[in-house]
Amino acid sequence: MTIGIVGGSIAGCSAAILLLKEGHEVTVFERSNKSLVGRGGGIGTTPALMKQIRADGLINGDFALFQINKMPFIGKVKSHEPYGKVAWDMPIHFNVFQWNELWQKLRHNVPNAHYRAGIKIVDAKSMPNGKVELTTHSGNKAHFDLVLFADGYQSLGRQLLFPEKKLKYRGYILWRGLLKESEMDIACPLSDDILRLSYKGEPGHNVVYFIPDQNGSVKEGERVFNWAAYIAIPEAKLDNIMTDKTGKIRSGTLPPGSISQANESWLKRFLSQHIPSYYANIVNKTKDSYIQVIYTLDLDSYYKDRMCLIGDAGMVVQPFTGSGVFKGYNNAKDLITCMKENQNLNDALEQWSKAQLKTGKRLLALGEQMEKAFIWEQLDFAKANEQATKTWWKASVSFPENFNYERP
């Protein structure tokens, strides 16, 4: 089959590798004409998924990551400065790494002949002969038996297929930054943990962990400290926070270095009041922080005619579920299984879409549980003991059976 893939990031490259292995004729269109490296920060997923990805040949050779074994819940209290008070060390199994590392390794396995960088798709149409016509920014047309939109949370494909579906702002943003370990004043106590730092009586929290450096070094002294603070911003104030240094209102993301001076100072003051001083100092030292607005999006179908949505182009789920990599890979893998099980492509797509909706809705439900716990009903870990924290967690969050990072 000839298959066109719109978007050459995590989901697009994963799908391309799997479909090429099945013998399909695949073309990936990626609007960016530069390497996507340098734009990402830390990303994580379960070790089970990493193992599967490797077994499927999506990545091979060395892969720089950290194995995370615990998630300490920490609060700010004077008696425990500068590192804060640990309410509970939750056992987990999780892998964290540079977004760049994952993208580069996936991209490496998509032969250049199948990856067309610098080509933006501006339209897609179902043709009377059953094919799909893609139009590029320069007006060229290309025809495919099947098209997968892997074009991210602001997907053109989703807008064309289901224009009534809109992103829903969740009432908070993710303010993020990276600091090289070599730029830290005092050695960091973090090793194999992801810290969740609660605020004092305010919604949201800050998540921090080390990732390997850009060159894949995992050595102490060369790691990169990744922090990400969830901060509640009422919808009426969103435009203000998303107004960049030049006065332009950005949608969805405010890239590194573009936050206005006034907003950056406000954000830094906020975190200094709410998180242990050691971590507040790291945030204050970070240059080029950036913002991602948190949205979700639910769907009733993953396809129309011969066009499908995969990765963030499908359902959009809260980031703390850690499911970004899982979704893109599983959407593509399931599609192949359904195509093998059904002679008829329409039957395959129908079966596939139903399965993706089921998984997507479970992840959205998980995202809502975590959002309630980690944003709106966030426990102040400074005031909670281990039992209270365990009770809060158990009552708040239950993972779907095929996606869980808790360790019994």
Ligand X SMILES: Cc1cc2nc3c(=O)[nH]c(=O)nc-3n(C[C@H](O)[C@H](O)[C@H](O)COP(=O)(O)OP(=O)(O)OC[C@H]3O[C@@H](n4cnc5c(N)ncnc54)[C@H](O)[C@@H]3O)c2cc1C
Name the nearest CA neighbour of 374 among 397, 402, 347.
Answer: 397
Q: Considering the complex, what minimum distance in angstroms separates the CB of residue 38 from ligand X?
A: 8
DSSP 203: S
Q: CB of 95 within 8 A of CB of 10?
A: no
Question: Considering beta carbons, is residue 34 or 394 the nearer one to ligand X?
Answer: 34
Smallest separation, CB 137 to ligand X (Å): 8
CB of 17 to ligand X, least distance (A): 13
DSSP 285-298: H--S-EEEEEEEB-
400 prior amide bond cis, ω within 30? no
The contact set with ligand X (CB under 6 A) reads 6-12, 29-32, 36, 39-43, 99, 120-121, 150-152, 156, 311-313, 319, 324-325, 328
Comparing CA positions, the residue from 389, 386, 353, 387 lying closest to residue 373 is: 389
Rounded to whole angstroms, the maximal C-alpha distance in the chain is: 72
Q: What stretch of H or E contains 134?
A: strand 132-136
- Calpha distance 337→354 (Å, rounded): 13
When CB distances to ligand X are compared, the closest residue is 311
**CB of 4 or CB of 276, closer to ligand X:** 4
Smallest separation (angstroms) from ligand X to the CB of 338: 19
Cβ distance to ligand X smaller for residue 150 or 282 = 150
**Nearest approach, Cβ of residue 98 and ligand X (Å):** 8
Kindly tell me which of 39 and 180 has the beta carbon lying closer to ligand X.
Answer: 39
Comparing CB distances to ligand X, the nearer of 42 and 276 is: 42
CA dist., res. 280 & res. 190, Å (int):
15
Minimum distance, C-beta of residue 15 to ligand X, in the bound complex (Å): 9
Taking phi first (over 0 means left), then psi (-120 to 50 degrees means alpha), and beta for anything else, what does residue 23 get? left
> Which of residues 135 and 277 has its CB atom nearest to ligand X in the complex?
135
